Amino acid sequence: MTTTAIPQKQYAVQLVGPSQLKLNPDKDVPRPGPHQVLAKIEAVGLCFSDLKLLKQFSEHARKKEVVKGLSEQILNGIPSYVPADKPTVPGHEVVLRIVAVGDNVKHHKVGERCIVQADYRNLRTSGSNAAFGYNFEGGLQEYVLMDERVVVDEDGERFLIPVKDDIGASQVALVEPWACVEDSYVTRERQSILAAGRLLVVADAGHAIEGLRESFSPDGPPASITIVCVEDVQLKAIQDLGLPVEEAIDPVALPDEGFDDIVYFGASKPTLDVLNDKLAAHAIINVVKGGKRIGEPVAVGVGRVHYGPTRWIGTDSTRADDAYRNIPPDGDIRDGDSVLVVGAGGPMGQMHVIRNVCAGRKGVSVTGSDLDAARLAALEAKARPMAAANNVSLRMVNSKEEKLDQAFSYYALMAPVGQLVADAIRDGAEGMIINIFAGIPAPVKHDLDLDTYFAKRAFMFGTSGSTIRDMKIVLEKVESGQLNTNASVDAIAGMSGATDGIAAVENRTMAGKIIVYPQLHDVPLIPLSELGEHFPTVAAKLDDGQWTPAAEAELLRVAKA
C-alpha cells in the first residue's frame, strides 16, 4: 500500500569497504515485500560512531551476520540486510516518514512519522547486536527499506517510534544521540549480588568472609558459588549459606567472563589482575580489603566498564555488604553535585553540559573543559542562557591554559582515554561518580589506584547506545519544550556535503552536530556561521545563530533538489 509516487532511483551515501565512502546518485529504490516498510528520510544526524564502522567495516561487531533472532531464510529475503562485506548505508540518527507498506504489515501504516531506535538488541551477532546503519542499511539515502520482523521485538514493541508532525526534522532526528546521553544518566545500577547468578568468592589467608548473605538480592540468592580459599573457616562460612558450592584451587584455571559477581576478600594485585578477566557482561567485582592496602596500581578493564558493562566496587572494611551500599541507584547527577565534563566542546560533550544544566537539580555547578578555545566559546554561547535560567553555576576551562583547581563529585568523560579515569580518581571528591561515556575499546586496561578509589567510595560506570525507553524520555522532553536538541546543531548539508560532513566529524572541525537532508542533492556542507553566504533567507531565520524549525523549513523551500 502506498499513497505517494515513489521514484525508481535515489541518491545515497554508501560504504563499500574500509574507509571507502561514495555518493551514489543512482541507487535503486526498493519496493516493500509483504512484511516490509518503505520510508522516506527527512533528516540524518552524523555521529562519531559512524567512523568506527567507516574504519572497521566488516570487522565491526554490528556489521557481522545475525546469528540469533531471525532465520537465515527470512534475513536473505530482506534487501536492506547487508552484513559482512556487503556495501551498506550508514546513518542511524534519523527521522523518516512511512510511504509504503507490504500486505502483511500489521504494526505500521503509511503516513506515520517516526524516529528509529537503531540497536536491534533482539537480533544478535557474534559479538554484539544488529543495528540500523550497520548490517541493516541506514539513513544516508532518500528512502530506506525496513522489515517489520526486524523492527518489532518479541513483545510487540516498535523500534520505529512515532513522533508528531509539528516538530522540526532536525529536532527529532537528534533524539537518538541525546538518548545515548540520557541512557548514561538513567541507567539502573544493580546494588546487590545477582539473584540466580554465578558467584565467585576468593579469600586470601587471614581474611574473614563476612557480609555475603546481607549482599544477596531481595529477589533471591545466587544460583551457585565457586570458592577459592585457603582456610577451613572460610570454606565453612560459604557452606553455611546453604547454596550449591564448588571448590576451586586457583582462579587462573576458572573460565574467563564466567561469573556475574566476584567478591574478593583480599588486597593482592596479582589476584586482581586475574579476576579482572573472570567478569562476565554486567558483572560486579567487590574487593573487600579488610583494612589492608593493595599498594600499587591495578590494570583495570576500563573498556569493559563502558562496553561490558562491568562494575568495580570495594571497601576497606571486612564486610562485603559495605561496598554495595556505595553503589548509586542510577548514573544521574545529584543535588549539590559539582560536575566536570571532560571534552565538553565536542558534539556529545555539548549535550552532556546542556543536559546537566537543564536537569533541574538543586545547587549544581557544571564545568566544561576542552583543549579548543573556539569550541568552548561556542558551547558557552549556547549554555550560558540555559544555566542562568536554571540557576546553575557554569564555567568553561581551556585545559591547555588553565589548571582545574576543584575536586569534582561527578565526572563525565568524553574522550576514550584511560588516563582520564585515573586522573578523576586521584583528583575527585569523596563519593564521586565517574561516567565513562566515551567508548574506550573493550580490551583496553589501564592502571588505576584502587586504594584511593575505594577509600573515596567512588563509583565508575559506562553505557553504550540507548534503548527505546531512553528515546521516549528524550522525545517527551523535546515535545514538551523542556529540551531543545537543535542547540547542538553546528552545520547542515545535503547529499553532496554528506561525505565532507563525515570527514568533519573525523577531524573534529565542527563543535556540534551536522544535519544532512537527503532530499537536498546539491547542498554542500555549510557551518551555520556561514549560512548567510549561501542562503541569506535561511540565515535570517536562525535564533541568535542557532538552528530552528523555521530555518529548516526555509532551507527545504529554497534548496529543494
Per-residue pLDDT tens digits for 286-305: 999 999 999 999 999 999 99
- Nearest CA among 516, 521, 520, 518 for reference residue 505: 516
CATH number at residue 299: 3.40.50.720
**In terms of domains, do 125 and 224 share one?**
no
Instruction: Determine the angle formed by the axes of helices 175-186 and 347-357, rounding to 10 degrees.
Output: 60
Q: Rounded to whole angstroms, what are the CA distances from 275 to 96, 211, 474? A: 46, 20, 38
pLDDT confidence of residue 511: 79
**In terms of domains, do 16 and 94 share one?**
yes
Task: Return the DSSP state at 213.
Answer: G
**In terms of domains, do 391 and 499 share one?**
no
**In terms of domains, do 390 and 244 share one?**
no
* pTM of the shown model: 0.87
Q: Is residue 85 part of a domain?
A: yes
Q: Is residue 306 part of a domain?
A: yes
Q: Give the three-state DSSP class for 383.
A: helix
**In terms of domains, do 343 and 307 share one?**
no
pLDDT confidence of residue 307: 85
**In terms of domains, do 410 and 516 share one?**
no
**In terms of domains, do 440 and 488 share one?**
no
pLDDT confidence of residue 501: 95
Q: Is residue 4 part of a domain?
A: no
Q: Is residue 45 part of a domain?
A: yes
Per-residue pLDDT tens digits for 359-377: 999 999 999 999 999 999 9
Q: How many domains does the chain have?
A: 4
- Asked if 288 and 317 count as a contact pair (C-beta separation under 8 A), the reply is yes
Cell readout for 81 is: 540486510
Domain boundary among 437, 464, 491: 464
CB atoms within 10 A of CB 203: 24
Q: Is residue 178 part of a domain?
A: no
pLDDT confidence of residue 482: 83
CATH number at residue 148: 3.90.180.10
**In terms of domains, do 28 and 142 share one?**
yes
Q: Is residue 451 part of a domain?
A: no
Q: Rounded to whole angstroms, what are the CA distances from 441 to 307, 418, 477? A: 8, 10, 31
> Which domain covers residue 431, as residue numbers?
338-445+457-464
Residue 169 carries which side chain, given as an amino acid letter?
A: A
Q: Is residue 183 part of a domain?
A: no
pLDDT confidence of residue 561: 54
pLDDT confidence of residue 439: 80
Q: With a cut of 50, which residues of the chain have pLDDT below it?
A: none
**In terms of domains, do 20 and 142 share one?**
yes
Domain boundary among 148, 167, 186: 167
**In terms of domains, do 46 and 98 share one?**
yes
pLDDT confidence of residue 155: 86
**In terms of domains, do 316 and 344 share one?**
no
Backbone angles phi, psi at 173, to 5 degrees: -60, -35
Can you spell out the DSSP letters for 133-164? TTTB--SSBSEEEEEHHHHB-TTS-BSEEE--
Domain boundary among 435, 464, 493: 464
**In terms of domains, do 127 and 45 share one?**
yes
pLDDT confidence of residue 1: 55
E-assigned strand segments in 7-148: 9-17, 20-28, 36-45, 93-101, 113-116, 119-124, 129-131, 143-147
